[in-house]
Amino acid sequence: MLIVMEKDATEGQIDKVIKTIAGMGLTPVPVPGSQRTAIGIVGNAGPLDPEKFLSLDGVKEAIPVSKPYKLVSREVKPENTCLQFGDVIIGGDEIVVMAGPCAVESPEQCLAIARAVKKAGAQFFRGGAFKPRTSPYSFQGLGKEGLDILARVREETGLFIVTEAIDHENIAIVEEVADIVQIGARNMQNFSLLKRAGKSPKPIMLKRGMSATIEELLMAAEYITSQGNHRIILCERGVRTFADHSRNTLDLSAIPAVKAVSHLPIIVDPSHAAGRRDQVIPLSRGAIAVGAVGLLVEVHNDPTNALSDGPQSLYPEQFEQLMEEVRVLAKLPRG
Ligand code: PEP
Ligand code: MN
């Protein structure tokens, strides 16, 4: 249920509502929004009686929420969630692009790629210091040393940093460097990590699991927001199907489907969807056309020798071309 307060509700009236909810053994969660003061109620096993809340002073509406996810739903917050990083806004009209290698390999590699993607117009640098790899024998990332390299990239280029936290053990040091903490596809249903991300001081980019439904993705986001962190970006990165012409199948229909029911911004990762660089630009065009508010793209200056995901990484020149197209597409009607 969502309790919407009158415009002129006093602090005391809001406090009374919060105390009433807590007194019933339920959890009140303030829902941020510029238009109104609203308090979500979570933790109830069955439907609640709206009259209990409507009788309190300052309460305008008590709206039952029909979806299993509550705080991330549009029923609770009709307007889009926007996240601001300096002058960059994720969730607004601009297309925000996060680009960089799959893995942080060295300062030279990162700085060369970061300068190239920045010059082409990317706003974020991506790169994993902790890598979730299918094989335990594959490169696992540079760990703390990788984070130090990312900090240097930010300092030298001014790019914002998005990097993955794969476990509880290291999320705290990832948070120190990341402007956005990525939770990867394989961890989308790591519920204890999601709860920890919900306590993070940093925004979270939550990638869709490779066999997760939209409802499961939104329930995973709900884990994060129910712990108090409302700054979430969703990312469609392809799901596993019978198709073998690409690594995964990019589910572009997920974008309008998510936007219809959730206020959270959603971006597309064409690189992990495709698994091969020749599909990355065409899929990016499609992503923007269906209303994605950003792209997460792997770029490498020497993909042949990349320590992970070389075959899907764009060459810097291809990334430049992609960004030129992004600028044109961003002006057209979308979504
Ligand atoms: C990544 O972005 O580097 C990554 C591992 O992606 P995913 O979790 O989508 O496979
Ligand atoms: Mn990768």
Structure confidence by residue, pLDDT tens digits, 76-96: 999 999 999 999 999 999 999
pTM of the model: 0.95
With a 6 Å cutoff on the Cβ, whether 102 touches ligand 1 is yes
Find the CATH number of the domain harbouring 271.
Answer: 3.20.20.70
Q: Is 160 in the same domain as 245? A: yes
Q: Is 18 in the same domain as 158? A: no
46 has pLDDT over 90: no
Number of the ligand closest to the Cα of 273? 1
Q: Is 307 in the same domain as 162? A: yes
Ligand 1 atom at minimal distance to the Cα of residue 269: 9
Please check whether residue 74 lies inside any domain of the structure: no
Question: What pLDDT was estimated at residue 31?
Answer: 87
Please check whether residue 258 lies inside any domain of the structure: yes
Cα–Cα distance measured from residue 110 to residue 112, given in angstroms and rounded to the nearest whole number = 5
Range of the domain at 51: 2-63
Q: Is 58 in the same domain as 106? A: no
Mean pLDDT of all residues in the chain? 96
Q: Is 96 in the same domain as 179? A: yes
Q: Is 162 in the same domain as 287? A: yes
The total domain count for the chain is: 2
Question: What pLDDT was estimated at residue 240?
Answer: 98
Please check whether residue 75 lies inside any domain of the structure: no
Helices 316-329 and 107-120: crossing angle, nearest 10°?
30
- Which has the closest alpha carbon to 70: 259, 293, 261, 254? 261
Please check whether residue 121 lies inside any domain of the structure: yes
CA dihedral 33, 38, 39, 42 (to 10 degrees): -70
With a 6 Å cutoff on the Cβ, whether 316 touches ligand 1 is no
Question: What pLDDT was estimated at residue 35?
Answer: 75
Question: What pLDDT was estimated at residue 59?
Answer: 96
Report H helices in the chain: 11-23, 51-54, 107-120, 144-157, 168-177, 191-197, 214-226, 254-261, 270-274, 280-289, 316-329
Please check whether residue 102 lies inside any domain of the structure: yes
Number of the ligand closest to the Cα of 311? 2
138 has pLDDT over 80: yes
260-294 residue pLDDT tens: 999 999 999 999 999 999 999 999 999 999 999 99
Ligand 1 atom at minimal distance to the Cα of residue 207: 9
**Low-confidence winner among 49-53, 108-112, 253-257 (lowest mean pLDDT):** 49-53
- Which has the closest alpha carbon to 286: 242, 326, 245, 243? 326
Q: Is 137 in the same domain as 273? A: yes
Q: Is 285 in the same domain as 319? A: yes
Question: What pLDDT was estimated at residue 199?
Answer: 98
With a 6 Å cutoff on the Cβ, whether 247 touches ligand 1 is no
